[in-house]
Each structure stands twice: as C-alpha cells, then as structure tokens.
Amino acid sequence: MNIIKNILIILFFVSCSAVQEPGTVREILDIKSEVNLFLSTQDPEVEKQVLNRLKQVQHETIKSILRSRTQKTSNPIGLQKNLKIKYNRKDYPYSLFIPSASRTEEKIPLVVVLHGLGGSGANTISAWVERLGEKVAVLCPTYPMGAWWARPAEEMVLRLIDETREKYNINSDRIFLAGLSNGAIGAYMIGMFYPDRFAGLIPIAGSITPRYMHFLMNLRNTPIYMIQGVHDPIFPIKLSRRIHKILSDMKYPVIYREHEEKGLAHGGHFLPESEIPAMVEWIGKQKRQNNPNVVRMTREGNHMGLINWAQLIEGKNLALLELPGPESPKPIIRDGKISRMFATRKGPNQFEVMGENIVKYDLYFNSETIDFDKVVTITTQKFQVQGNNLIPGEKKTSYKKKVKKDLAVLLYGYKKLREPNRLYDAKVTILLESTLVDHSPASEINSNGRIS
C-alpha cells in the first residue's frame, strides 16, 4: 500500500508540473505573437494596442525574441537567375547565389554587386560567385541603364537586401556593396547615404563627381576598397585619386588599388584578375562596427535617415539633391545647403554634438552605450568652416537627466531596420533654441557647406 501511495503522490506532483509548464510556454508564445503582429501590421491603431499590451514586458525579453527570429531554412540554395522583386508596383529581376553553408547555424556574409551600363544581375553573378569561392552569398539586382544613383534604384536595392536577410541566414554585420562602372557610382552613393548598413564598399572602375564628394564624410565607420585603372577611358583617374586623398586626410579606413592593366575592349575600365585575391582577402577580414564612439554625417533633404545611433531630423534650408534616372521625372534640385553633424561619445553617459545648419536631431541609446540608472549629458555646439579650419561656437548643455526606456523606440526601430544587431531602447530628441547655421552667402557646394 505504501508503494502505491508513493506512486500516486509522485503522479500528482508530475501532473501539477505538467499543468504549469504549458502555461509558461503559452505566455512566451503570446509575447512572440504580439511582437509578430506589431511587425506585420500596417495599421497604426493595432500597433498602439500591441504596445499597450506589452508595456509591462522587459526590453531584454523583447530583444531576445527579435534576435531569435528564425530564418526560413526551406528556401532554395545555389544559383538562382530568374528571380523578381516587386517594388513600387513594378517587378525588378535579380540573381542570387546562396552557398550550402547557409544550412548550418553559422551566419554567412553577403556581397551585393551592382552592374554597369548594359549589364544585368544575371550576366554579373557567375563571375562573382567564382571569385568568392562559392562560400559567400551573392546578390545581383538589375536596374535599367545601371542608374543606381536614382532614388527608386537605391530603395529597391535596400528592400532586396532586407528580404534576402529575412529569408536566409545572413550575417547582418557582414554585408558588402560592390559595383563596377555605373555600379561603382551606386556603391558610392548608396554607401554614403546609408553607410551603417554595410561592412564595406567596393567601387571598381568608377567614381563620383566633386559635387558629391562632401558626402564621403559619412564613411567614418565604413571601410572602402577602391580599384581603379590608370588607363580607364571612361572615369578619369584623377577623380578616384581625389576621393582617396579626401578619405586618407580624414584618416578613414580606405584601401586604394590603382592598376595599369589594359583590357581588349575597354582600356583600363575593368576588374583585373590580379586584383581579385587581395580584394577577397579584404572582404574576409571586415565586420561592421556597431555603436561606434564617433558618428559623422553630411545630409541633404532627400537622405535624412539614421546613421548608427544619430539622426538629423531637421536642417536649415537643406538642398534636395537627386540625379536623373530612367524611372524618375526630371529631378528637382533646389538651391540650398547641406548640414554637417558630428556626434561623439566622450565618456560614460556623456555625448557631444557639433554641427552646422541643424534644427533638430535624435540620439538613440541602448544598454551597450549608456547606463540607464545614471544621468545622461548631451552638449550641442555650432561650428563654421573657414578654409581648412573648423571654428567652434559656444557649447550648450542640451540635455542632462536620466533616459527612460521606450518600447515604441525598440519595436518601431526594428520594424524599420529589421536588424537584430541594431536594437535601441530609447531616444532623446534635441530641438535647438536657435538654429545652428552658417550665414555665408549661397554658392555652389564648397567647404562652407553650401549647395546651389
């Protein structure tokens, strides 16, 4: 009887445990369901309702769910040349290679390659798969005339990267943007306007004009590997040399490879086989730097997005720059200014922002960058550029108190970027009492930060 009694007692406790365990699992699954609902809905009212239901949930719990969102391992691997992405009610073809290593738990790098005039993703991808030893994911979109500088093109490329990253086990900290000829222009332009999305840029046999070289300022934390032929008949070598000098003078991470080879059809306008091993070795060593101590940016009105943990929200009379493309109307280029902003983490919970033509800016924070239990101090200081000299103005304390975590910042931030390695718990918005502006007369873009 004692044996039977003991068995019944054990069964009772086991049954109680079995009843409690599903409740715990259900609670976790409900939080995941709420997070997935927030990320999938386009209804602002539903978003507010989800935020209200999750308001008592710890940020670290939400972050754990966001970081563990599983990849769809059932997606096909290998070389795929006849794919399409729908963007802005249009279908754009692209080609994709996914190595077999994507089936493992280890995340794989992704190299995005932009073709030149007359090219396509389909006739570009095979050579790059071979160059990278079939060990790296390769994504080659196609865009009319290779006009990658147009906003529809850059937005399509970014959307395609996001979709590829969600379907496959891609390492968000090892995404590279490469391009040849027109594709090199795209690598510069997209890379300069969205530098924190890439572990490195690889422009080959292409350049940008001096008008846009001011945006090289944004590459403070984005390594660049340049390859240019001395005998290139299409892009003058002096442009690439000038870019290299600008980046070198700012002590930015740049490698410049200048070759003297001549191809049969295009002079020096190509990627020599001799340059490939060093380029591939460089790719293998790069990893995106998250939460750097210094963020520098030059902005105009069409590109105001977050760079790392800082964002210009409003500038003073900013220009709207847009180069023409086959799917764009004639671009509206208005006389105006550019804005520069330097944001620096000076020490524990101490931040300094310097800039010109700034009206309002945001700084984003997480537990890796500040101690939420202590006061955060943000100072703002205007500056002017006179010749090669930066003349700072009066420094003012713009913020001095503790920062509160905000679930809306965390979830809206992930919904926009879809990057598990860039999760912010809070933001501080600084609206300046008086506009930080250089009042020198407008002219064409120059060292005084003006554009016509």
Domain ranges of the chain: 2-57, 78-285, 294-451
Give the pLDDT confidence of 36-63 residue by residue, as tens digits. Answer: 999 999 999 999 999 999 999 999 999 9
CB atoms within 10 A of CB 305: 15
Looking at residue 263, what is its pLDDT? 79
pLDDT at 196 exceeding the cut of 80: yes
Looking at residue 175, what is its pLDDT? 98
Read off the amino acid at residue 93: P
Residue 71 CB burial class (10 angstroms; 0-12, 13-18, ≥19): middle
Residue 83 parent element (H or E): strand 78-87
CB 286 within 8 Å of CB 203: no
pLDDT at 443 exceeding the cut of 60: no
User: Angle 158-162-163 (CA atoms, 0-180°, nearest 5)?
Assistant: 120
pLDDT at 344 exceeding the cut of 70: yes
Looking at residue 335, what is its pLDDT? 73
Give the mean pLDDT of the chain.
Answer: 88
State whether residue 195 is helix, strand or coil: helix
Residue 17 pLDDT grade (very low, low, confident, very high; cuts 50, 70, 90): very low
**Residue position matching structure tokens 């350049």:** 207
What's the mean pLDDT in 312-316? 94
Contacts of 421 (CB under 8 A, 6+ apart): 172, 173, 288, 290
What's the mean pLDDT in 195-210? 97
Residue 422 pLDDT grade (very low, low, confident, very high; cuts 50, 70, 90): very high
pLDDT at 126 exceeding the cut of 70: yes
Looking at residue 284, what is its pLDDT? 97
Looking at residue 280, what is its pLDDT? 98
CB 321 within 8 Å of CB 333: yes
Give the pLDDT confidence of 367-410 residue by residue, as tens digits. Answer: 999 999 999 999 999 887 777 777 888 899 999 999 999 999 99
Looking at residue 16, what is its pLDDT? 40
- In this structure, the chain runs to a length of 452
**Residue position matching structure tokens 């070198």:** 248
CB atoms within 10 A of CB 167: 17
Strand partners, 343: 295, 353
Integer distance in angstroms from the first to the last C-alpha of the chain? 97
State whether residue 45 is helix, strand or coil: helix
CATH number at 78-285: 3.40.50.1820
Distance, in Å, from the CA atom of 291 to the CA atom of 193, rounded to the nearest integer, reads 18
Nearest to 173 by CA among 43, 308, 374: 308
E strand map for 230-347: 254-259, 294-299, 310-315, 336-337, 339-347
State the pTM of this model.
Answer: 0.88
CA distances (Å), 55 to each of 27, 52, 406, 416, in order? 15, 5, 9, 20
CB 212 within 8 Å of CB 188: yes
The proportion of the chain whose per-residue pLDDT surpasses 70, expressed as a percent, equals 86
CB atoms within 10 A of CB 86: 10
**Residue position matching structure tokens 């900013």:** 318
State whether residue 430 is helix, strand or coil: strand
Per DSSP, helices labelled H in 307-348 are none
The proportion of the chain whose per-residue pLDDT surpasses 90, expressed as a percent, equals 74
Distance, in Å, from the CA atom of 437 to the CA atom of 340, rounded to the nearest integer, reads 10
Give the pLDDT confidence of 271-293 residue by residue, as tens digits. Answer: 999 999 999 999 999 999 999 99
Looking at residue 170, what is its pLDDT? 93
| Least trusted range by pLDDT, from 196-210, 254-268, 302-316, 417-431 | 254-268
pLDDT at 192 exceeding the cut of 70: yes
pLDDT at 320 exceeding the cut of 70: yes
CA 219 remoteness from chain centre:
11
Distance, in Å, from the CA atom of 449 to the CA atom of 128, rounded to the nearest integer, reads 39
Looking at residue 329, what is its pLDDT? 65
Distance, in Å, from the CA atom of 449 to the CA atom of 108, rounded to the nearest integer, reads 40
| Least trusted range by pLDDT, from 73-77, 181-185, 415-419 | 73-77
pLDDT at 446 exceeding the cut of 60: no
pLDDT: is 452 or 357 the higher one?
A: 357
Distance, in Å, from the CA atom of 85 to the CA atom of 97, rounded to the nearest integer, reads 15
Give the pLDDT confidence of 166-191 residue by residue, as tens digits. Answer: 899 899 999 999 999 999 999 999 99
Residue 336 pLDDT grade (very low, low, confident, very high; cuts 50, 70, 90): confident
